[in-house]
Every structure is written in structure tokens, then in C-alpha cells.
Amino acid sequence: MAGTAVEAEIRKFGALADRWWDPGGPMKPLHRMNPLRTGWIAERIARAHGRTGRDLSGLTLLDVGCGAGLAAEAFARFGARVTGVDAAADAVAAARAHAAAGGLEIEYREGGPEDLLAEGARFDAVVALEVVEHVEERAAFYAALAGLASGPVFLSTLNRTARSFLMAKLGAEYLLRLLPVGTHDWKMFVTPGELGAGLKRAGLRVTDIAGMTMDPLTGGWRESRDLGVNYLVMAGR
């Protein structure tokens, strides 16, 4: 264990670093999902600052568990000053290289949110997308997110339901091969009630929630009221 990060999870996702930016590779579902989740978040951050659309110009944003930078780069293109942190060194190296190739100024750090918290860092918004289902020390993780945020905190994750087991575990990993086998442990999925209670103990309350639903024909994602598999949460004080 490195802080709130699990060593086995670090190795697993670090091994995917060189294919992270391949839209047809092992991170294909994240590529398809990214416009929905980053757009949903950017609109709410902008609204909180009295702005329209997805204007994040000059705002600081921390992407926790940033991987090779899919979400971080999207937020940077919305104008945010982005810091990404991840415990997988290979993923951070891939993120730095891709941002440099695209002319984006993003600060990437190897480590966990607790490292930045110890430094006294604060951000206008903190996001942790498809991360919490890989974290065992969740109370410490939520506390770190809360401590780093001077504004809203956003998480996206998978609900622990029979349907998510069929679709996100068996279907995505074994039948359709959308994700490498072993990407997820269904027992680590988080129900909205569990997530809300954990955030509450960290001093945050859920202020918005939405489902993310994939169109099986196109592979595209849309916002929905269905929280049964993938969902997004916004929380604040």
C-alpha cells in the first residue's frame, strides 16, 4: 500500500500506460465516456463561478488518479490550470509525454492525494474519476479529497448491483473484451448510499448525481437517471 493506493492496482494500470491513449485499446471505454464525464463536471464548476458553458479559465483543478491524462487534458482544454496525480509512475510518464506533444501545460505528480494534502495544496475543484472502486482506505481517500478542495469534489464510479456485475464485469471484461480481464473487482464497486455516507463523514454532502449510460449500438455515452451501473457525483460543503 502506498498511501491510499493499492500496490496491485498501481502495477495493473501502470502496465497499460503505453496503450492508454489508443482509442481502440484497453482504455477504449474511458475514451468513449470522457466527453460526457468531463463535460458534466466542467459545466458545474463553471456554473459555481457564475460562468456559462464549460469555461474553466484560470481555475485550478486536481485530477486524482489521472492515469495517462485523458480527463486532465480535457479539463486543460476547457481552460483550467490542471494538476494530475497518480501512483503509477509509468502512467504519469505517459501523461507528461502526451501533454507535451499536444502543447498543454499540465503539472503531473507521482503519488497520491495525501502527498499534496501534506504540502497544504488547495484547488478550486478536485476530481477522482473511476478511481474509488480501486481504493481500499476509502475514509482516508475521501478525507484527502475534501482537504484538497476549496470548491466542489467530483467522483465517478460503478454501482455494486447485479446489473453492474453482468454488464461492467462479465460483459465488459469477458464477453465483449472492452476492458482487460481483471480490470475491476465487483466487490469493490460503491453504491451511491455508501459513497454519500463516506463523503459525509469527510465533511462533504452530495449536491448532484447522474447516471452514465452507454448506447450499445454506437458505444457513445449519455447522461441519464439510471444509477444502476456507472454514475457521477458532485459534492460540496
Binding site feature residues for S-adenosyl-L-methionine: 37, 65, 86, 129
How far is it, in rounded angstroms, from Cα 85 to Cα 68? 10
Element (H, E) at 82: strand 81-86
Total residues found in the chain within this entry = 237
C-alpha separations of 179 from 15, 182, 183, 194 in Å? 14, 8, 7, 25
How far is it, in rounded angstroms, from Cα 149 to Cα 236? 9
Phi, psi values for residue 57, rounded to 5°:
-50, 125
**Non-local CB neighbours of 137 within 8 Å, separated by 6+ positions:** 1, 3, 4
69 backbone φψ class: left, alpha, beta (φ>0; ψ -120 to 50): left
Q: Which residues of 103-114 are buried (b: 16+ CB within 10 A; e: fewer)?
A: eeebebbbbbbb
- Cite the annotated binding site by residue number: 37, 65, 86, 129
How far is it, in rounded angstroms, from Cα 167 to Cα 165? 6
C-alpha separations of 140 from 70, 94, 114, 198 in Å? 25, 27, 8, 10
Which set of grid coordinates corresponds to residue 87? 501512483
